[in-house]
Structure 1
């Protein structure tokens, strides 16, 4: 599952975002054990030190926890996962608004366009 990385963002951050996305989507389940640092690093084609930094970042974000002798696991705290989901949504919306405004579109213009296009009403 070797990944393609963007040149304008640190690799470790891209991996954090990828794992967080998998957790939010449910591809990686609450309480699930993550692969070892070495196995994950080999599977995505990065240095083990980079992957260690990713795991450390995830733990600092309270998304994973390390159990001595067992490995790293996604938190069982579903409230934290929901908070993470909301944080990611907020970041995406803020980024979208900044990009739209930088191009001279108004928020109302974009809302109108998005409503016309349809989509999910979740």
Structure 2
């Protein structure tokens, strides 16, 4: 995983995990690697991954079973909500970027239609 210096690493890891969950790369109820194993895999500090898991648990994206580990949510509704939040963020970034370079809403729709035909 390559990291962007403009955003905290733990947020980038959370985003990547959310992406893996909504695309099905990580399955509902699947056991996550331990914080230590995942930190070694990514080459990150253990505390960074512990924070990732803690933040995701606070958002009900993962849950911990004492003595067994951390698991992906079993709620397909939660995953769909994450997917919609991510889509909304992508659309907002796209619209803001297009507005900044002078596109109107009609221009954007036309651009999308043309790009979709490729």
TM-score past 0.5 threshold: yes
Choose which of 4, 19, 22 in structure 1 pairs with 2:20.
Answer: 22
Question: For the residues of structure 2 that align with 1:30 and 1:96, how far apart are their CA atoms?
Answer: 29
Match for residue 82 of structure 2? 84
Question: For the residues of structure 2 that align with 1:74 and 1:104, how far apart are their CA atoms?
Answer: 42
Question: For the residues of structure 2 that align with 1:32 and 1:107, how far apart are their CA atoms?
Answer: 41
Question: For the residues of structure 2 that align with 1:52 and 1:32, how far apart are their CA atoms?
Answer: 18
Question: For the residues of structure 2 that align with 1:105 and 1:29, how far apart are their CA atoms?
Answer: 39
Alpha-carbon shift at residue 99 of structure 1 (Å): 1.1
Question: For the residues of structure 1 that align with 2:115 and 2:75, how far apart are their CA atoms?
Answer: 36
Match for residue 114 of structure 1? 112
Counting only pairs closer than 5 Å after superposition, residues 1-122 of structure 1 correspond to structure 2 as 3-118=1-116
CA deviations 1:96-118 (Å, max 9, x no partner) are 11111111111211111111122
Question: For the residues of structure 2 that align with 1:83 and 1:77, how far apart are their CA atoms?
Answer: 10
Give the unaligned 5+ runs of structure 1. none
Give the unaligned 5+ runs of structure 2. none
Query: Aligned residues, how many?
Result: 118
Provide the alpha-carbon RMSD of the alignment. 1.3
TM (norm. structure 1) is 0.92
Alpha-carbon shift at residue 81 of structure 1 (Å): 0.6
